[in-house]
Amino acid sequence: MTTPRQVRTAALGLRGAEETTDDQGRPAFAVEGRVFAALDAGQVVVLLLTETESDAMTAAHPAAERVEEDGRRIGVRLALSEIDGQALNGWVRRAWAAQAPPAIAENAAAAVSAEPGEVGDLPASIGRPATRALADLGITTLERVATMTDRELLAIHGVGPKAVRLLRAHRA
């Protein structure tokens, strides 16, 4: 069964996401001040999606209920018991993308399919996780990497000591 903790982990793993409360006082997750997900009564997730994404989610999960505001669909409500964790992660990411500023959402979308050696001048040897993590943040050049400390690089989920070592070796 999917848990509120899994929602929290999925939401806070996204770029710029922070935990807050929504206008109804529920635990919520926002990007740049815009709520994209909330927990309702602990065992229900509310995802703020585009109308198209809301339709897709209700088609994929018949138990999902549409959430409307001023007569237009703004998202869905779904009991956590009705969705597995992997599917939930994807829907949380879609809700985040619907609310994130376009530049951030575009970087994230491109990063999902980024392959080593195909992003700017980052070396292929750093591997897929580091390549995608850096691309997600818009870091695509060794010049930009050179402005960062090892500690800053290591704080990026997906960038480990080996990737930092390889990035520094290519810059030298």
State the number of CA atoms in the 13 A half-sphere of 34 facing the CB. Answer: 15
| 83 located within any domain | yes
Same domain? For 92 and 122 the reply is no
Task: State residue 39's pLDDT score.
Answer: 95
Same domain? For 133 and 63 the reply is no
| 105 located within any domain | no
Domain count, the chain: 2
Which domain covers residue 147, as residue numbers?
Answer: 110-171
Task: State residue 172's pLDDT score.
Answer: 59
Same domain? For 71 and 125 the reply is no
Over the chain (172 residues), what is each successive 10-residue block's mean pLDDT? 89 90 91 94 91 92 92 91 90 93 82 87 94 88 93 90 94 64
Same domain? For 96 and 116 the reply is no
Same domain? For 122 and 157 the reply is yes
Same domain? For 68 and 90 the reply is yes
DSSP label at residue 25: S
DSSP label at residue 83: S
Sheet containing strand 17-21, edge to edge, reads: 17-21, 27-31, 34-40, 44-48, 72-79, 65-69
